[in-house]
């Protein structure tokens, strides 16, 4: 098996910079669209054979150094008892948002092996099919990011209901975060037991907070999750979108790898995080609409700057966009493998 991604996560010397792409299994691939055309998104996530097939597609097509489980960050939210729908061109919708203590009381802390058994089954299929290929990354949303969807009832532009709860009823907010934290620990531990070899925690919306609010209301829960998962002895990647303003706090999370978005220069991120941290990122997903020559130039710049970190895993600064030409994604991976060699 190509284990260069796992070695890079631990900051070990590697022959070249490994690369994988957030949302690499999905909508930009015709092979995915062919499967998706007859089924809704949640059905795909809950059908292990299909979820495994979709996970494998970019490994073979792009030549990436790691596979990431095809699923969604909101799977554990549904398992906690909330009604979840994905509406075309609207995204996730939770019809009865969490706004009071009674609503939090009703949430359960699910048994991940039983209540999300389809994820466990998908991982077991994938480990068998990937054993001579690349490692498998499991994942979950972070407590704050999941809380925003639960409180807002979906996506949001200003997160007003989430912040109102944080500021006006911190006891209720913390109650919800406690339940989410326990759920995520159970969920990610279950993925490791099933065979996932690394974990990524997505904090997509933590960047909407001030450094103080992040430190008080988010970081303690992330640290608890990572501390518990460290017992599983797999590398943990913590990705925060819009991370520039809170990197000094993110550094305290205890994660093995810090994933950064594209809105900060990777050299500046390394200066803030220190040279003892493994970093992941951070090409702008829209850069994949450039010519191959221009993509190569962007890749070389990020690779060169990433050399000053303890270790570097190349990735996009957020998920690959549905309109991305597949040939450009292939060109990106080839460029990283070509220019990221250490010899």
From the list 36, 99, 127, 298, the catalytic residue is 36
Cα–Cα nearest to 257, from 242, 273, 236: 236
The edge-to-edge listing of strands for the beta sheet with 198-203 is 67-68, 136-141, 198-203, 236-240, 257-260, 278-280, 311-313
233 catalytic residue (yes or no): no
Of the residues 3, 7, 27, 298, only one is catalytic, namely 27
**147/181 Cα distance (integer angstroms):** 10
Mark whether 60 is an active-site residue: no
Catalytic residue among 32, 149, 214, 221: 149
Question: Which one of 16, 28, 32, 72 is the catalytic residue?
Answer: 72
Which of 16, 23, 115, 238 does the annotation list as catalytic? 23
Q: Tell me if residue 16 is catalytic.
A: no
HSE, CB side, 13 Å, CA atoms: give it for residue 85.
10
105 is catalytic: no
Return the structure tokens found at 105.
């009381």
Q: Give CA separation, 139 vs 38, 73, 186, in Å.
A: 26, 7, 12
- Secondary structure (DSSP) of 221-260: HHHHHHHHHGGGT--EEEEETT-GGGHHHHGGG--SEEEE
Note if 27 is an active site residue. Answer: yes
The catalytic residues are 23, 27, 36, 72, 149
């Amino acid at each position: 098996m190509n284990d260069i991604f796992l070695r890079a996560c631990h900051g070990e010397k590697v022959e070249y910079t490994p690369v994988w792409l957030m949302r690499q299994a999905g909508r930009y691939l015709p092979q995915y669209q062919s499967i998706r055309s007859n089924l809704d998104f949640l059905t795909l996530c809950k059908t292990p054979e299909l979820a495994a097939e979709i996970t494998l597609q970019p490994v073979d097509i792009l030549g990436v150094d790691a596979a990431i489980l095809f699923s969604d960050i909101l799977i554990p939210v549904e398992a906690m008892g909330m009604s979840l729908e994905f509406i075309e061109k609207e995204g996730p919708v939770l019809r009865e948002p969490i706004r009071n203590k009674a609503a939090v009381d009703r949430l359960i802390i699910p048994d991940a092996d039983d209540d999300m058994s389809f994820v466990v089954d998908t991982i077991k299929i994938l480990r068998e099919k990937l054993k001579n290929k690349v490692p498998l990354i499991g994942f979950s949303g972070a407590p704050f990011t999941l809380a925003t969807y639960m409180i807002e009832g979906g996506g949001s532009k200003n997160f007003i209901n989430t912040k109102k709860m944080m500021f006006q009823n911190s006891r209720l907010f913390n109650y919800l975060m406690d339940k989410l934290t326990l759920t995520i620990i159970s969920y990610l531990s279950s993925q490791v037991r099933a065979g996932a070899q690394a974990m990524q925690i997505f904090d997509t919306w933590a960047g909407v907070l001030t450094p103080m609010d992040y430190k008080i209301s988010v970081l303690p829960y992330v640290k608890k999750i990572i501390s518990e998962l460290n017992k599983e002895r797999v590398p943990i990647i913590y990705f925060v979108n819009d991370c520039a303003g809170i990197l000094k706090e993110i550094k305290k999370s205890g994660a093995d790898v810090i994933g950064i978005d594209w809105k900060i220069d990777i050299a500046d991120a390394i200066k803030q995080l220190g040279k003892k941290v493994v970093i992941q990122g951070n090409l702008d997903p829209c850069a994949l609409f450039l010519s191959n020559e221009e993509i190569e130039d962007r890749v070389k710049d990020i690779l060169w700057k990433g050399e000053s970190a303890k270790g570097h895993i190349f990735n996009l600064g957020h998920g690959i966009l549905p309109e991305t030409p597949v040939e450009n994604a292939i060109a990106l991976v080839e460029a990283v493998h070509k220019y990221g060699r250490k010899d």
